[in-house]
Chains A and B, each alone.
Chain A
Amino acid sequence: MDNDSLTARILEIVPDAQLEENKQFLTFLVPAANLHDLALKLKSSPELAFDFLFCVSGVDYGKQLAVVYHLNSTQHKHALVIKVKTDDRANPNFDTVCDIWRTAEFHERETYDMFGIRFNNHPDLRRIFLEEDWKGYPLRKDYVDEVNIVEF
């Protein structure tokens, strides 16, 4: 599927999705509530068939926290980027997609570890790299840690 028909198809599934311009891949900003539903359709629709979740990255945009999903279809060779954002920095949470793409289980744990973004219905949401008792979420921009980070 080319980008135009992909755009049309995704806007059909999630009418609130915003297309972000001038990106390397087709990028959509999706309301958090629609994420799981969209993901399920992206995977299961035969003409979309986004079966390969390449990368899940958390991004801290200062005010907002975002999660970026890089999707790929091994069948149709098209790519898509889905973004979800939240303003709630104290208790950010999104739906998990690890029931759809199993690789998300680890990637979401990593995002939780580094950004404190919780994923609802995740089977085993624990810190993956840091200690369980680590305070704060290191990749957030407002993270301050005098003890462990050595500034030059």
Chain B
Amino acid sequence: MKEIINLPVSKIDEEEYHINMGPQHPSTHGVLRLVVSLQGEIVKNLKPHCGYIHRGIEKMCEKDTYPQIIHLTDRIDYLSSHISNHAVCLLVEKALEIEIPERVQYIRTIMDELTRIQSHQLWWSSFGMDLGGLTCFFYGLRDREMILDIWEETTGSRFLQSYNCPGGVMQDIHPNFQKKVHAFLKTFKKKIKDYDRILSGNVIFENRSQGVGILSKEDAISYGVTGPSGRGSGWSCDVRKTEPYSMYSKVQFNEVLRYECDTYSRYMVRMQEMHESMNIIEQLIDNIPAGDHSAKMKAVIKLPAGEYFQQVESARGELGLYVVSDGNKTPYRMKFRTPSFSNLSVLDHISRDMKIADLVAIGASLDLVIPDIDR
């Protein structure tokens, strides 16, 4: 929007009313700037400006070894840090053709699903807050705390765990892990009913979300809107089903699809995904096989020269990792195809001719994480 700011006043379209949502704005969930052209309350068009927390992670990866890259992937999508870690590990293991102990696969899958639940919990909290129901925020965070405690006990960190490492996980699970996960599942199954009662079934919420931000399946594919947002448009794009990794080929779960294509359907997909994730955890938690928590790895990990690609299903969509290796211990080029980046690109398309309040709801339903966009 530099052009617009620098234009003489006479050249600016008098009819349009530009407002800057962000970089500091309560509903952009971070430092995202949306330049919105309004006509009254109606959004005419919108230009996202990102890069406010661009840290050059792809450049930093080029000087880091593969185990070191893991702590950077934590910071891309901080809400699904464990899944991003998992992607790097899968890529390295695939390139080196290492057999991973089954115990590790179980642990990683459980951790991934816990990550998904907590990410969706936080998303639910902030969704409620964006629509003005502030109490949702505290209920979501309250329940998320239990998962953070489970993580803290096993991995030592609450948020950016760096728990995966190529070949396995950093430490074996804590003896209390299974007990605590069971306790969490038991509690959360009760609490998630409150989520439905306070928000999902609420008439104001339904009016705010139904028919808002229609994203057709064709558009979702063309814009690359993956994850729950894409599945809300009826696009079966769950990597856990299409390209199963870890334990996902062996557990029973449904890919949640909805066909209303609006904010409400994206919302309901995430709500049901929490149930599905709990279902997956329940199938795995009692059957974790004994064994080592890590495969034997060389001290220095060097990928053979070549190109590697790995995709995983993060809480926001498909996270793709594209690595060009020249045989060194550091990648030659590492590209992260982050879900939020593609999901952001559709925001302009689906929020046209909606109201500002709808824009907030649509933005929340895409579940954007700003570091995931900026990297």
Q: Do chains A and B touch in the complex (CB under 8 A)?
A: yes
B181-225 vs A: 1/0 string, CB under 8 Å? Answer: 000000000000000000000000000000000000011011110
| Other-chain residue from A68, A74, A106, A128 in contact with B221 (beta carbon distance below 8 A) | A74
| Other-chain residue from B306, B309, B341 in contact with A22 (beta carbon distance below 8 A) | B306
- Given A54-B320, A138-B59, the answer on whether A132 and B309 have CB atoms closer than 8 Å is no
CB-based contact B307/A130 at 8 Å: no
A46-84 vs B: 1/0 string, CB under 8 Å? Answer: 000001111101111000000010100010010001000
Q: Which residues of chain B are within 8 angstroms of A74 by Cβ–Cβ distance?
A: 221, 235-237
Q: How far is the CA of A57 from the CA of B54 in the complex (A)?
A: 17
Q: How far is the CA of A24 from the CA of B349 in the complex (A)?
A: 34
Q: Which residues of chain A are within 8 angstroms of B341 by Cβ–Cβ distance?
A: 106-107, 110
Interface residue B302 (Cβ < 8 Å from any Cβ of A): no
Chain B's interface size range is 35 or more
Interface residue A114 (Cβ < 8 Å from any Cβ of B): yes
CB-based contact B307/A23 at 8 Å: yes
Interface residue B51 (Cβ < 8 Å from any Cβ of A): yes
- Given A57-B335, A70-B320, the answer on whether A139 and B223 have CB atoms closer than 8 Å is no
Within 100-114 of A, Cβ neighbours of B (below 8 Å) are at 101-103, 105-107, 110, 114
| Other-chain residue from B51, B218, B333 in contact with A129 (beta carbon distance below 8 A) | B51
Q: Which residues of chain A are within 8 angstroms of B56 by Cβ–Cβ distance?
A: 138, 149
Q: Look across to chain A and name the residue whose beta carbon is closest to the beta carbon of B47.
A: A124
CB-based contact A128/B59 at 8 Å: no
Q: Which residues of chain A are within 8 angstroms of B2 by Cβ–Cβ distance?
A: 132
A residues contacting B by CB (< 8 A) are 22-25, 27, 51-55, 57-60, 68, 70, 74, 77, 81, 101-103, 105-107, 110, 114, 127-132, 138-139, 149
Q: List 6 A-B contacts (CB under 8 A).
A: A24-B308, A68-B307, A77-B242, A81-B309, A107-B341, A127-B51
